[in-house]
Amino acid sequence: MAEDEPNPTQRDMPLVLDEDLTKQMWLRVESLKRRGGKRQDGEKLPHPAESVYRVDFIQQQRLQFERWDVVLDKPGKVTITGTSQIWTPDLTNLMTRQLLDPAAIFWLKEDSVAMDWNEADALEFGERLSELAKIRKVMYFLITFSEGVEPANLKTSVVFSQL
Total of domains in the chain:
1
Cα 160 to chain center, whole Å? 15
Average pLDDT estimate for 31-42: 90
Least confident residue range of 37-46, 114-123, 138-147: 37-46
Residue 3, in any domain of the structure: no
Q: What is the pLDDT of residues 128-153, one digit of tens each?
A: 998 888 888 889 999 999 999 999 99
pTM of the model: 0.88
Amino acid identity, position 72: L
Residue 2, in any domain of the structure: no
Average pLDDT estimate for 109-129: 92
Surface-to-core class of residue 118, CB atoms within 10 Å of its CB (0-12 exposed, 13-18 middle, 19+ buried)? middle
Q: What is the pLDDT of residues 96-114, one digit of tens each?
A: 888 888 999 999 999 998 9
Q: How far apart are CA 59 and CA 13, in angstroms?
A: 9
Average pLDDT estimate for 43-50: 90
What's the CATH number where 40 sits?
Answer: 2.60.120.390
